[in-house]
């Protein structure tokens, strides 16, 4: 089963993403801050990570950099309320950049696309 790590500091959004992604058939692991996200990736490497940028203890850009420095192959989707980070070259390392919406279809489609792309890589 495909495992997704959801890194989101807002408890309600974290629960919503977890429920919605489980309904799509994924196993979901959650983290509420950057430090916890690093710990979770060391315990069990997920197949894909969905990460907010504005998270406590270590922002999403720094967390993403640390995760990718150890595991370059892991796909990361940035899921944030702020479209202005899209211009930050540090965010370009992400496989997708989604601006948060109450409609999760764009996020779910991005997960499917990124996982399909990863499956095609040798």
- In DSSP terms, 79 is beta-bridged to 98
Percent residues over pLDDT 70 in the chain: 89
Read off the pTM.
0.88
Query: How many C-alpha atoms does 56 have within 13 Å on its Cβ side?
Result: 7
Q: Which residues contact 97 (CB under 8 A, 6 or more apart)?
A: 77, 78, 80, 85, 86, 91
pLDDT attached to residue 85: 56
Helix (H) or strand (E) holding 28: strand 27-31
Determine what percent of the chain is predicted with pLDDT higher than 90.
Answer: 45
């Amino acid at each position: 089963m495909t495992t997704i790590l959801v890194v989101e500091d807002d408890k309600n959004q974290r629960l919503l993403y977890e429920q919605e992604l489980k309904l799509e058939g994924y196993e979901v692991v959650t983290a509420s801050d950057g430090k916890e996200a690093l710990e979770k990736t060391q315990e069990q490497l997920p197949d894909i990570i969905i990460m907010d940028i504005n998270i406590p203890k270590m922002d999403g850009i720094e967390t993403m950099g640390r995760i990718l420095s150890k595991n370059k192959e892991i796909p990361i989707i940035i899921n944030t309320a702020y479209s202005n980070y899209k211009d930050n070259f540090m965010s370009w390392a992400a496989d997708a950049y989604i601006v948060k919406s109450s409609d999760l279809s764009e996020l779910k489609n991005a997960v499917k696309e990124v996982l399909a792309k990863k499956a095609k890589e040798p």
